[in-house]
Structure 1
Amino acid sequence: MSRVKNNNSKKKNTKKIRNFILVAVILAVSVMASYVYFTTQKWNNVIFPNVKVENVDLTGKTKEEAIKLLRDKYGNPALKSKINIKAENRTYTINFSGLNAQYNIIKTVNEAYAYGKDLNIISKYKLISKPDNKQYNLKFSYNEKPINDTIESMKKEINKGPKEPSIKLDNGKFVVIDGNPGAELDGDKLKKDIMAQLDNKSSGDINIDAPIKTINSKTSTEALKAVDTNIATISSNYSTSSWGRSTNIAVATKSIDGTLLMPGETFSFNEVVGERTKARGYQEAPVIINQKVEPGLGGGICQVSTALYNAVLQANLKTTERVHHTFPSHYAAKGLDATVDWGNIDLKFKNTFDYPVYIQAYTKNKTVYFNIYSNKKLKERTYKITTELYSTVEPTIKYIDDPTLLEGKHEVVKNPHTGYRVKVYRDIYENGKFIKKELVSKDYYVAINGITKRGTKKH
């Protein structure tokens, strides 16, 4: 009987222990659940631990607090900052405010604030109790136009071509005038450098040196010093010319005076002299048009191009383009003339020497003069230009009966001109000794047949 009582007593004690443990567990779970709940609740309206934007720790901050922190560190300084571009002796400044520069602070704070908020309570608790580092970065936005405008403005002020050294003839002696290097802003590199620093989000002003390239002149003063000797001299008289023709010769000649031709460069008469217009001082004078002599603006300048051509031949410069007249000119031997016509016919020659060539051109007492200068070593060779007339073609005259003219009367419609075939040679001498003869050109002045009206009307 006593054994049965003991067994019942033991069962009751075991049950009490189990109940106690169960209650304890339930209580512990409840306490833990409450702790987890209240712990996560505290973070509902603030940013979770170890959440950073850039290098700012926003742990436990409200949205408003986070926004203020970031604005104080990034937003407001950005508005007050400047881009200072140092270029030569000037500094160009671009204000951030003018760029409409700003960080996406509110958007980034919203993202940081939302971190972990959509998780269940246990996951939230884990993020809070054992937080991982969570990093957000601000994005910097700005308007590029003020940068582009500033760079373009800088180019206009900085970019300049080099001033080439030059020479002038002063009382028979050459004076070399030094040039100056030019400058060119590397706008692409400058923009790239500016944007790299802007995107780096560094606080404070951006100070940057403008990348400016030095543009050296193509010609050196040493090269110009090599010009020291006259290698060709030509003159051509126009004393019988009218005022208009004389004026045209003087204007064209002045355009050529002082021309400097560096090794490898080509001279173009039309490019140097320019278009023959009244605005540039040219007058009406006889010119050859359609095999006839008629008045035309700039008439007479072919005597200038012809004189220059003869100087070029004498100097042994390489002629690359030259056309003779329709019929021979009175101011040059056959085969030695050179006609020009704006936009149509040109006189061109190339400097194939190792030295620069300087052309002096002037008029005096109705004579045009050309002097070509280069280096004295070129005088070791001299040149003599000769011509050979090897064929003559006589023109015909066509007569047209005209009943409006009286018998015995004649009216010339078109003057005849004899045709010629001519060869031009250059005799080459070295230190006064004949070396060889070379053919320069073969010209054919086409015979021009005449036309004359003769009267048939009876008296």
Structure 2
Amino acid sequence: MENNTENAKGKEWIVKNKKNIYISLAIISTIITISFIYIFSVNSNVKQWQSKIYPNIVVNGVDIGGLTKEEASLKLKQELSAPIMDKILKIRVGDKEVDLKYSEIEPVYDIDSIINEAINFGKMGSIFEQDNLIEDGAGHKIDAQIAYNEDKLKEFEEKVKTEVNVIPVDATISINNGNIAITKEVVGKKINEENLHNKLVENINGNPKDLVELNFELEDSLAKVKASDLEKITGKISGFTTGYTSTGDGRVTNMSIALKAVNGTVLMPGEEFSYNNIVGDTTPEKGYEKANTYVGNEIVPDYGGGICQVSTTLYRAAMNANLKSTERANHTLTVSYSDPGLDATVAYGVVDYKFVNSYDFPVYIEGYIGGGTVGFNIYGNKEALSGKTYQLVNEVHEKYNPEVEYIDNPALKEGEQKVKINGMPGYKASSYQITYENGVEVSREWISTDVYRTTNTVIERGTKKQ
């Protein structure tokens, strides 16, 4: 009886257990099915977005979520590239305003890089992570910057400086019959160039809606030449003159124009004087005329003939003030207005005459011409020279006499002769700078050794029969 009861209970447990197993299997099967459906749905959803940008991805305020590369590119060009051209960066300097129009600096977005960043964002995560981004939105912001033409920005900076800077006015000096008059300098205003550039670079950005206004204050711009500097000029420290006789050609005109350019020059301590920079090219537009000048080993008429007498006279005056040359060359042939070794030739773009103000005070150059004389006076601090004076002298080492060349001229009768070219002797000469203290020579310094070519005398002789 007991055995039958136990058997019945066992069968009941087996039936009940099988039922539970079936239920569990059904639940598991359902879960698997649902999971499969979910995964399939998620995967399908993710695949649909592989060629699209995930939702809520924003570039400089422009939402490109849900778009393909091509669609996003078009939208960015319409809503970024086009509007950025109209953007303005306001520059205020005191009471003046100078606006930078972005179109002036040619701004460009790297659209391809922006799109690649947007399309790839979140795509490396699991499908579930990607699905969350799709459903909830990526919430990713891209700060797209622009490239621009830096040369154009420099041009704008120059424009700002031109419009806001106030150029300082140098103190001036005038000398009339030895009387010195000084006019005080005027302080100017200028914008700090480095600060302007840095602020512009910092604030130029690719957001068309981000409007910026920059404010700058002007700084003092000091004059190069101050009255306090010019007051150190107390009198004449040297001078020199050369003579001329020609008045019929353009030589005097040319000398006058060149001398006028040099007259009134103030040379500050350590500053270099360049004859070519001051006088410039001797063009007819500036009033220069044709006159005889040396070209190689020949004398030919050319614009500016005669200006070397001005440079030579200035050279002698400068050396008499002990203003040593940094560039100086002699003529190829001797000149009538200078002894060998004491001249200074110039040719614009080829040969220059330069010297440096080696004093700790300014020097003033005064030039004059008239009555057959070209002259320069140099003014400085007489007291600082402590009684010293200077003189440039020469020593001729060799003289080369010209030879005589004969050429036949059938237009002349036999026995007749005509001088075609007057020969000129050549020289080898040295120059020396003598220093005097209270009129007594204390030193003699070699300056240069120069060689001048010889030009032969050319005589035409007649061959025409009587």
* Alpha carbons 1:311, 1:371 under 8 Å: kept: yes
> Share of identical aligned residues, percent?
27
In structure 2, runs of 5+ residues without a counterpart are: 47-53, 59-64, 68-74
| Inter-partner Cα distance in structure 2 for 1:163 and 1:342 | 30
Q: Equivalent of 2:412, from 405, 415, 425? A: 405
Q: Equivalent of 1:170, from 146, 171, 174? A: 174
| Inter-partner Cα distance in structure 1 for 2:225 and 2:174 | 20
Task: Report the TM-score when normalising by structure 2.
Answer: 0.68
Structure-2 residue corresponding to 1:280 = 286
* Alpha carbons 1:185, 1:210 under 8 Å: kept: no
* Alpha carbons 1:233, 1:370 under 8 Å: kept: yes
Q: Mapping of 1:316-355 within 5 angstroms?
A: 316-319=322-325, 320-324=327-331, 326-329=333-336, 331-355=337-361
Distance 1:348 1:105, change over 3 A: closer
SS in 1 for 2:193: strand
Task: Report the TM-score when normalising by structure 1.
Answer: 0.69
| Inter-partner Cα distance in structure 1 for 2:458 and 2:117 | 96
Larger CA deviation: 3-12 vs 17-26: 17-26
Deviations 1:379-414 (A, max 9, x none): 322113444556555444345565653355320022
| Inter-partner Cα distance in structure 2 for 1:400 and 1:238 | 33
Q: 1:251, CA displacement in angstroms?
A: 0.9
Q: 1:242, CA displacement in angstroms?
A: 1.9
Structure-2 residue corresponding to 1:138 = 141
| Inter-partner Cα distance in structure 2 for 1:391 and 1:155 | 61
* Alpha carbons 2:100, 2:156 under 8 Å: kept: no
| Inter-partner Cα distance in structure 1 for 2:200 and 2:116 | 28
Larger Rg: 1
Distance 1:148 1:342, change over 3 A: closer
Distance 1:108 1:296, change over 3 A: closer
Q: Mapping of 1:62-73 within 5 angstroms?
A: none
* Alpha carbons 2:281, 2:348 under 8 Å: kept: yes
Deviations 1:66-114 (A, max 9, x none): xxxxx9xxx99x9799674545343646689x97799979996997799
Deviations 1:349-381 (A, max 9, x none): 233333333322233455333122333454322
In structure 1, runs of 5+ residues without a counterpart are: 56-61, 65-70
* Alpha carbons 1:166, 1:224 under 8 Å: kept: no
Q: 1:174, CA displacement in angstroms?
A: 3.5
Structure-2 residue corresponding to 1:154 = 156
Structure-2 residue corresponding to 1:59 = none
Q: Equivalent of 1:184, from 178, 193, 206? A: 193
Q: 1:254, CA displacement in angstroms?
A: 1.3
Q: 1:267, CA displacement in angstroms?
A: 2.8
Structure-1 residue corresponding to 2:210 = 205
Q: 1:253, CA displacement in angstroms?
A: 0.8
* Alpha carbons 2:315, 2:343 under 8 Å: kept: yes
| Inter-partner Cα distance in structure 1 for 2:426 and 2:120 | 98
Structure-1 residue corresponding to 2:202 = 193
SS in 2 for 1:339: coil
Structure-1 residue corresponding to 2:62 = none
| Inter-partner Cα distance in structure 2 for 1:194 and 1:422 | 66
Q: 1:284, CA displacement in angstroms?
A: 1.9
Q: Mapping of 1:375-390 within 5 angstroms?
A: 375-380=381-386, 381-388=388-395
Q: 1:159, CA displacement in angstroms?
A: 4.7
Q: 1:277, CA displacement in angstroms?
A: 1.9
Distance 1:33 1:412, change over 3 A: closer
Distance 1:27 1:341, change over 3 A: closer
2:17 aligned with 1:18, yes or no? yes
Distance 1:365 1:167, change over 3 A: farther
Distance 1:54 1:229, change over 3 A: farther
Distance 1:426 1:149, change over 3 A: closer
SS in 2 for 1:255: helix
Which amino acid in 2 is paired with 1:175?
Answer: T
* Alpha carbons 2:328, 2:345 under 8 Å: kept: no
| Inter-partner Cα distance in structure 2 for 1:456 and 1:43 | 118
Let me know the Cα RMSD of the aligned residues. 5.1
Q: 1:318, CA displacement in angstroms?
A: 1.0
* Alpha carbons 2:55, 2:66 under 8 Å: kept: no
* Alpha carbons 2:187, 2:221 under 8 Å: kept: no
Which amino acid in 2 is paired with 1:241?
Answer: T
| Inter-partner Cα distance in structure 2 for 1:427 and 1:418 | 27
Which amino acid in 1 is paired with 2:170?
Answer: S
| Inter-partner Cα distance in structure 2 for 1:104 and 1:422 | 76
SS in 2 for 1:435: strand
| Inter-partner Cα distance in structure 1 for 2:406 and 2:152 | 78
| Inter-partner Cα distance in structure 2 for 1:227 and 1:409 | 64
Q: 1:184, CA displacement in angstroms?
A: 3.1
Structure-2 residue corresponding to 1:3 = 2
* Alpha carbons 1:410, 1:453 under 8 Å: kept: yes
| Inter-partner Cα distance in structure 2 for 1:228 and 1:391 | 43
* Alpha carbons 1:83, 1:205 under 8 Å: kept: no
